[in-house]
Chain A
Amino acid sequence: MTTAHAAPVPTDVEQVLARAQQGIGYWGRVWERLRADKVTLVVTAVLIAIVLMAVFAPLIATHDPMTGSILGRLKGFGYQGHLLGTDETGRDIFSRLLFGARLTLVSGVLPVVFALIIGGLLGVVAGYFRGGVNTLIMRSMDVLYAFPSILLAIAICGILGSGLENTILALTITFIPPIVRISETVTAQVRTLDFVDAARISGANSATIMRFHVLNNVLGPILIYTTSLISIAIILAAGLSFLGLGVTPPDAEWGLMLNNLRQAIWVDPVLAAVPGVAIFITSMSFNLMSDGLRQAMDVRV
């Protein structure tokens, strides 16, 4: 007797075959799912719009973000062509938001990218090799972990002094430990799976196993986690500026703008809330995008 074919009789063989021929892969499947997820699409569009606005700020801005007016201070929406009103020195808030987006995005995204490269590498190495390497890396991270992230960022900025570069450096250092920890956990999990053993008895060396079997499977979860850090980074960067430890005046940065406008809360609370709303929308969008990504990448569900 021949083996009974376990091959199922799919109800739609044609469709299955077409799919196989297209060679639609894992990432194709993720893309299909992302496209079907309205919320993620909307927030991604919002984020793209914010980035474009930051990039083309000089073209879009209605006023010079640095030029103030003694007379036109703290005026409401639409005052003399000031779309979102003016701040405490009479500068156009809309234009400052556009230019501020540049610094905010840079100080929000860059530290996360740097931390991802450094922390991801350390974490994957720690998770894959275990033993002494793992102990060394993870215990050093524990030292950094001992401080709450905000305190750590403030302390580093306090020591190094204010400014954009130092903000980025401080936030990078702040984000390395959590990324290392996540990467280490995910890698250690993947490492125990049988397919890694199957690869080892294929005669593959560590570099090959790392490349085809480990990185492939840990990058997704690490990326998702990292995206969710961007919103925290934006808020932290804004917080540092707010405290006077980040970007220095008169440069436009959302946290700094929030700080300066807080005096206006008694005059025009709506006006004072504008930079806060911008921070909120941006960080929320990054969060929701990260959520959507997570769902789309979990193909098994």
Chain B
Amino acid sequence: MLSPFPPDPAEDLNTTTSHGTANTAPLVSVRDLHVRFATRAGSIAAVNGVSFDVLPGRVLSILGESGSGKSVTMRAIAGILPKRTTTIEGSIGFGGTNLVGLPESQMRSIRGAQIAMIFQEPMTALDPVFTVGSQIAESVVRHEGISWTEARRRALDLLELVQIPSAARRMKAYPHEMSGGMRQRAMIALALACKPDLLLADEPTTALDVTVQIQIVLLLRELQRELGMAVMFVTHDVGVAAEIADELAVMYAGRFVEHGPAVDVIEKPLHPYTAGLLASTVHGAERGAVLQPIPGMPPDLTRMPPGCAFAPRCPYAVEACRAAVPQSVAMDTQTVACHRQADGSPLGPLG
């Protein structure tokens, strides 16, 4: 056999736990979150009533297209939305504290010690004028108040943890001297310096080449398991979500349309949007066949329609869909916000 890369046997999936039934207290508990931005073009309704929990040590992936509000939701939790132009309503419980309206000083100490974030572009997190080693060591000193010598040792451990080859030498490297994948690893090491309970990942693999992307996804999966952190992973790529998520939430026009164990959401989607998104993702198998894309385009967030935001593009839409925003209801292992699934004759899995 030539291939050094045999396809691996199906991995045992620990998806049986937790969704809805867990008795562990959630680490993050978001309730009815609304985020609006004031712009010259009017008020943009970026997030429109999102509720979910993230349990300790679990990976929630938020899947959505551009403008779906996935990244805004995460930035609201991190408390890094511009204060002046943003209105946040609802509550974001984190370990018993409501983060909405928390003073910046307190927010900063939580963000430093318990919540860390990684980005698509590592240079947003790394300072170009300091070496990678000293940046990580500085963060360790700040959080743990240990000596610099000790902190440098910890920084080296962290670089080894994120599998940077010849880590001792890389300690002295500046961010621009590293390749894209190495910078991404350095940023992850920096985020882990404070031993966070929650890691927020905003499309960290999107800008990477496919052979590097899979390395970073696998690294994050491994670190998450080893360190037992909870991870929120925002992506537009179903494939990446399938690789990392325990639970999957699909966002459309600032709302969760579907939420449940990743396997179930991907294999038997209940919301017409999820089904449409999966159907329009190109697989090799359908070579040359006509694809079944979702018609039309997402709504204008400055003028949200009164009912279900997906109704104008939905093949199943009826009059009721345009009248009121659907509530999330539990169906099997998933929750879905769809009038047609909630009424007397549900549509059932659409995949």
A touching B, CB within 8 angstroms: yes
A binding-site residues for B, Cβ under 8 Å: 1, 4-6, 8-9, 11, 301
CA distance A5 to B39 in the complex (A): 29
> Which of B11-19, B58-66, B161-169, B294-302 lies at the interface with chain A?
B294-302
Q: List 18 A-B contacts (CB under 8 A).
A: A1-B292, A4-B293, A4-B294, A4-B295, A4-B296, A5-B295, A5-B296, A6-B295, A6-B296, A6-B297, A8-B296, A8-B297, A9-B296, A9-B312, A11-B300, A11-B303, A301-B39, A301-B40
Rounded to whole angstroms, the CA-CA distance of A301 and B42 in the bound complex is 11
How many Å lie between the Cα of A84 and that of B297 in the bound state?
64
Provide the residues of chain A in CB contact with B1, threshold 8 Å. Answer: none
Give the dominant DSSP class at B's interface.
loop
Chain A contact residues: over half helix, strand or loop, or mixed? loop
Please name all residues of chain B whose beta carbon is closer than 8 Å to the beta carbon of A5 when the two chains form the complex.
Answer: 295-296
Q: Is B285 part of the binding interface, using a Cβ–Cβ cutoff of 8 Å?
A: no
- Bound complex: CA of A1 vs CA of B292, how far in Å? 9
Q: What 6 pairs between A and B have smallest CB-CB spacing?
A: A4-B295, A1-B290, A8-B297, A4-B293, A11-B303, A6-B297
B303: A residues at CB distance < 8 A: 11
With both chains docked as a complex, state the minimum distance between the C-beta of B252 and any C-beta of chain A, in angstroms: 16
Taking CB as reference atom, which chain A residue is nearest B39? A301
Query: With a CB–CB cut-off of 8 A, which chain A residues contact B293?
Result: 4
Smallest CB-CB separation from A2: which chain B residue? B290
Alpha-carbon distance A9/B311, docked complex (angstroms): 12
Chain A residues with CB under 8 Å of B295's CB are 4-6
Closest to A33 in B: B40
Q: How far is the CB of B178 from chain A (nearest CB, A)?
A: 26
| Cβ–Cβ < 8 Å partners of A9 in chain B | 296, 312
A123 to chain B, nearest CB (A): 29
**8 Å CB contacts to A: which residues of B266-317?**
290, 292-297, 300, 303, 312
B114 to chain A, nearest CB (A): 36
**A301–B85 CA distance with the chains assembled, in angstroms:** 14
B312 nearest CB neighbor, chain A only: A9
**Distance (whole angstroms) from the CB of A171 to the closest CB of chain B:** 36
Tell me the complex Cα distance, A8–B303, Å: 14
Complex: A6 Cα to B296 Cα, angstroms: 5
Question: Which of A4, A5, A301 has the most B CB atoms < 10 Å from its CB?
Answer: A4
A11 CA to B302 CA, complexed, in Å: 12
A8–B295 CA distance with the chains assembled, in angstroms: 9
Q: How far is the CA of A229 from the CA of B198 in the complex (A)?
A: 51
Q: Could you tell me the distance between the alpha carbons of A9 and B300 in the complex, rounded to whole angstroms?
A: 10
Closest to A4 in B: B295
* A11-B39 Cα distance, complex, nearest whole Å: 20
Chain A residues lying within 8 Å of B292, measured Cβ to Cβ, are: 1
CB-defined contacts of B39 to chain A, threshold 8 Å:
301
Extra A-B contacts (13), CB below 8 Å, given A6-B295, A8-B297: A1-B290, A1-B292, A4-B293, A4-B295, A5-B295, A5-B296, A6-B296, A6-B297, A8-B296, A9-B296, A9-B312, A11-B300, A301-B39
Shortest Cβ gap from B166 to chain A (Å): 37
A-chain residues with CB within 8 Å of residue B296 when the two chains form the complex: 4-6, 8-9
Residues in B neighbouring A8, C-beta threshold 8 A: 296-297
